[in-house]
Structure 1
Amino acid sequence: MPAWDAYKEVARKRGALALELFAVESVPAGGPASVPENVEKHLEYQQEQESKGTLVLAGPVSNAAGDLMEGAGLIIYRAASIEEARAIADADPMHVSGARTYSLRRWLVNEGSLTISVGLSTRSVSLA
């Protein structure tokens, strides 16, 4: 059994969720105008992936100090394999155009909590 699968099995045996997702760190690669030129197509692609159930979460991240947004983004995909996740990331218009490059990692979600509140009469949703 490959090491990654063995780790997932151990996590499951101890009661952890062991949900395998894929994390993409996307960073600017082209000139200063290349990211804005591709934002609309990128956001359409993200919406398409969300509709398919492939996109879990996505958004910009700060620099290491936490005080500046420097154009990096984090995208979490749901996929059957790392190869499938790579194909999804490769097809992102930001990556196709060369405006951004990315690194891809497996992420085994084991612990944590998430609270979602849905207001039926107000048609509101909040996430905490």
Structure 2
Amino acid sequence: MSGQDNPKSVPAAAVREASGAMLQKQLYVIFTTPTDGLGPVFANLDDHLAFQMGLEKDGIMFAAGPLWSDDEEHWNGEGMVVVRAASRADAIAIAERDPMHKAGARSFTVRPWMINEGSLTVRLDYSTQTFAIN
């Protein structure tokens, strides 16, 4: 990858080769956006959250949550959902099953995302049977 002057893109295989010693965990990010304001979003929120919790229980959900406005003061109905799937097509099928999308309250896009760097810290206290994720 370093021998190219200023490319606008490189093949995914080249990125995988350059980061071969890293995690290279392939996930899929679903970006979800309201189609007609927050009314339809709130009307479908309970079913959407139940669906999300089902994905979590089944081990499909990696992470999900709302996207705040840039000033971090408001929620405009947007969200991000990261799922484990065999392919982008499978991730799209997961997103299509979401009651929020089935009802037309939100539209979505799916992007492949490969995790290479980062960390997760979990503290488990046996005596109090509590935990914290940092």
* TM-score, scaled to structure 2: 0.85
Superposition pairs of residues 46-85 of structure 1, within 5 angstroms = 46-85=52-91
How many Å apart are 1:102 and its aligned residue? 1.0
Larger of the two Rg values belongs to structure: 2
- Which residue identity does 1:34 align to in structure 2? P
Q: CA deviation at 1:125?
A: 2.2
Q: CA deviation at 1:103?
A: 1.4
1:16: which partner in 2?
22
Given that 2:63 and 2:81 are in contact with CA atoms closer than 8 Å, whether structure 1 keeps it comes out as: yes
1:7 is displaced (CA, Å) by: 2.6
Gaps of 5+ in 1: none
Partner of 2:15: 7
Residue of structure 2 aligned with 1:106, choices 112, 120, 124 = 112
Whichever residue aligns with residue 8 of structure 1, its letter is R
Letter in 2 for 1:94: M
Measured after TM superposition, the shift of residue 74 of structure 1 is 0.9
Q: Which runs of 5+ in 2 are unaligned?
A: 1-10
Counterparts in 2 of 1:5 and 1:105: CA distance versus 1, 3 Å:
same
Amino acid at match of 2:19: A
Amino acid of the structure 2 residue aligned with 1:98 = G
Q: Does 1:118 align with 2:133?
A: no
Tell me, yes or no, if the aligned pair for 1:118 and 1:124 is still in contact at 8 Å. yes
**Per-residue Cα deviation, 1:59-95 (whole angstroms, up to 9, x for no partner):** 1111123332211111100111001011001110000
2:103 equivalent to 1:97: yes
Letter in 2 for 1:116: V
- Structure having the larger proportion of residues in helix: 1
- Aligned sequence identity (%): 35
